[in-house]
Structures are given as C-alpha cells and as structure tokens.
Amino acid sequence: MNSQELRAVIWTAAAEDGAPSVSLIDQTVLPHTLERLAVTTVDGLVDAIVRLVVRGAPAIGAAGGYGVALAMAQGDREGWDRARLDAEIDRVRAARPTAVNLMVCVDRVRPLVDKGMAAVLAEADAIVQEDLAANHAMGAHGADWLLDRVAPGSDRPLRILTHCNTGALATAGWGTALGVIRELHARGRLETVYADETRPLLQGARLTAWELAQEGIPHHVQADGAAAGTILRGEVDAAIVGADRIAANGDTANKVGTVAVALACAHAGIPFMVAAPTTTVDLATASGDDIHIELRSEDEVLEWAGVRTAPAASRGHNPAFDVTPGSLVTALVTERGVREVAAGELPGVSGTADLSPSGV
C-alpha cells in the first residue's frame, strides 16, 4: 500500500453483534507488521494514545474527536450518567499533555454531545477531512518557499533532513513535514532524505523510513547524534520537522532532539522549517516556558526490548519533547501560508497568514 493512502485513525460503525470502534493502525508493530487495532472503550483509547499505538499531534487530535463519540457509545452501553460521561471525555483529553491538537479537537467536538451521535461524528469527520486538506496545502506552501530560497533559478534537487515521523501515520493522511517532502519528490526536486532514527522509540527508523520506502523516496536513516554533523558538513539543504505545540512567540515543542537540529541549522546558515496545521498553534500559550513537557517512563531509556541496558543504580531522564526557540525557526508553514518566525513574523501577530486556530 502506498503510505500516503494510509489512514491512521478511522471510525468504524458497530456491526450487528458488536460495538462501534476507533480503528487505529498499531504503530508499535511497524515496520514489520501492518495491522489495525479496534478500540471500543475509553480505557483502550487512552492506553493506545499513551503507548503510541496512535501518535503524531494531528492523528491524536483525530483520535480525540472520535474519542468523544466512543465515550458516548460506551456510556450508552453501560448506563453512564452525564457526570461519568464528562469525566471519561476528560480522560481522553488529558491522555497526552503536550500535543495541543488533542485538547483542541476534543473541545471542538464536545459541545455537540447534546445534539447526538450523528452530530458528534460529523464534526469528528470534518476534523479529519480538514487536516487532510491542510496537509496538502502546507506541502505546496512549504515546497514553494524552500525552492524559492534554497535553489532559486535552479532545478537541482534538495537534500532534506527530518526528525521523528510526520507523515500519513501521524496525521489524517499525507503528512506535515513529510507532506512537504512528498511534494518536493512529486515535483522531481528531492535528492534524498536524512531521517533521524528518533530515540527512544525509533519513530524515524521504524515509521518515517517505512513511509519513504513505500513510495520509493531515496533516504538514509541516521542516529540522532549524527544529525548535527551531517548538517555542518554541508550534506543538507534544509531541515523540516513537525510540531506538537507552537506558542504565540514561535517557540515550538516537538519530539526530543529537535532543538539540536535547529541549532545546527542556525550555525550552518540553512533553513529550519516547522510544518504544522493551525490547530497546533496555541496563541493562549505565550512562550515555550509555558509548555508542559511530558516525561515518559524511565524504562524507555534504561531498557531495550525489555532487557536492562543501563546499570541497576542508574536513573532515566526521558522527556518526550523539547522546545525550539522561535528565534531558530526560519519558517513556519501551515495550510494558510508561511511565516518567517526568526525574522519577526510571529504566530501571535497579525500578518499575511492568519494562524489563529479558531477558524479551523
């Protein structure tokens, strides 16, 4: 299957003898196995989000939208009162605290609960369709901007570095940063992709590389620690990453290791681009200092495949994200256009591209 046709999150109506479900591609078993997990309870959905069965801010947002419907269906089966239903929806909303899309999408769908399941599902479906359209739009905007600035007047293909997974698996389809890369490839303007393996769970090696291989896009997988050297040796024309939350001043939370890529790009004088839908822009968060950084289990860095790799006395420090200062973000591309954040075009300041998520 062409990976751009994948849908990480799908609502599945109940069969005659079963419950409705949120169908998720299980990203914990890729690249070796492509299988779907049918989630029928709030417990199951929260667990799937925490375990990274579904991951990527837009995909988590879509799961959150359908999670409201899932809670309603479970509540009907089990006779929940309204207080219990609200508490279960709160659990979905809080499953991962850094990615703002989850909260935005739950909050968008939740007011329709009193109008019934059909209204909730229609709004959740709209979130998915809007994200898919947004990904294609930002892919075009991002490719235009890069080709105009990196190789003006030339038709040479670009060498792009990316970190973590930002493709169809992380979104409603196509991708954010990987959507820009796909657009460059479609235009015949992509030489190769350097995909950071992305510690500690290897989303780059397992997921990004798998998506690129599905479409025959040339790429190299490299250790996260190799990224800065690859950039400083002049082997990269630009870096493109996604985001889990973008503050009003342009500070950007993304998968841990991103800020090191941005620092290397700044030193090398090449673009560092963030690609994300406007639902990821959180104008209520003034700066990166106000972004909650999720700390994950110590075992993810102290063990490998369940086997202890660090001394018994060692403690693990495992932040899931880091924050890149807006001063290092050369360009922020959304479905509405590009802002050159490091040059002062901030998300929270009016300009040519309105980044307020209120209309999304």
CA distance 235 to 159: 7
CA distance 298 to 309: 12
Q: Which residues are catalytic?
A: 244
Beta strand ranges found along 21-121 (DSSP E): 21-25, 36-39
Predicted local confidence at residue 153, as pLDDT? 84
What residue type is 320 in one-letter code? A
pLDDT tens per residue, the chain (360 residues)? 566 568 999 999 876 567 999 999 999 999 999 999 999 999 999 999 999 999 998 999 999 999 999 999 999 999 999 999 999 999 999 999 877 899 999 999 999 999 999 999 999 999 999 999 999 999 999 999 999 999 888 899 999 999 999 999 999 999 999 999 999 999 999 999 999 999 999 999 999 999 999 999 999 999 999 999 999 999 999 999 999 999 999 999 999 999 999 999 999 999 999 999 999 999 999 999 999 999 999 999 999 989 999 999 999 999 999 999 999 999 999 999 999 999 999 987 654 445 655 433
CA distance 347 to 278: 10
Contact 150, 158 (CB under 8 A): yes
CA distance 86 to 315: 37
Instruction: Give the C-alpha distances (Å, rounded to integers) separating 139 from 3, 129, 189, 206, 295.
Output: 16, 16, 13, 22, 31
**Which residues have a Cβ under 8 Å from the Cβ of 183 and sit 6 or more positions away?**
139, 140, 142, 143
CA distance 329 to 340: 7
